[in-house]
Amino acid sequence: MTESVGKAKPRRKFILWFAVAGIAAYPVLMLVGYCLDRIWTPDVFSPFYNLLMIFSFLLSPGATLMMDAEHWPDILAAIPFVTVVNALWYAFVGASVWRVREFLRSRASS
């Protein structure tokens, strides 16, 4: 019993770090998009643009909530929801990474 409790703390810490990264992901993605918009405008019909959009939605699934936000009050009201969705997504990814890691460790030891 104490062994499982001892393993739970690093797992919680690992998942918490993923959630914190999820909270920071959307503001970083907005900043990068804003900076790149000044330098480079992609062709909307190119395959590279489609891959870029798929990557950005995997990186920040909460971005779909921001698609309808056009004005500053809408954007500011949507940001808390986006950060929560991203934190949950990154926590889920972190838990999945932890499970895969444990599975691979158990396979390697046997």
* Tens digits of residue pLDDT in 22-61: 888 888 887 887 787 777 776 777 788 788 778 878 888 8
Portion of the chain with pLDDT greater than 70, in percent: 92
4: in domain: no
3: pLDDT strictly greater than 60: no
88: in domain: yes
Predicted confidence at residue 4, as pLDDT, reads 63
Give the residue numbers spanning the domain of 64: 12-109
- Overall residue count recorded for the chain in this entry: 110
1: in domain: no
Average pLDDT over residues 1-10: 67
99: pLDDT strictly greater than 70: yes
45: in domain: yes
61: in domain: yes
Contacts of residue 21, Cβ cutoff 8 Å, sequence gap at least 6: 90
Average pLDDT over residues 58-76: 80
Specify the number of domains making up the chain.
1
Higher pLDDT, 73 or 66: 73
75: pLDDT strictly greater than 60: yes
Cα separations (Å) of 36 from 26, 33, 39, 59, 107? 15, 5, 5, 17, 44
The mean of the pLDDT values for the chain is: 83
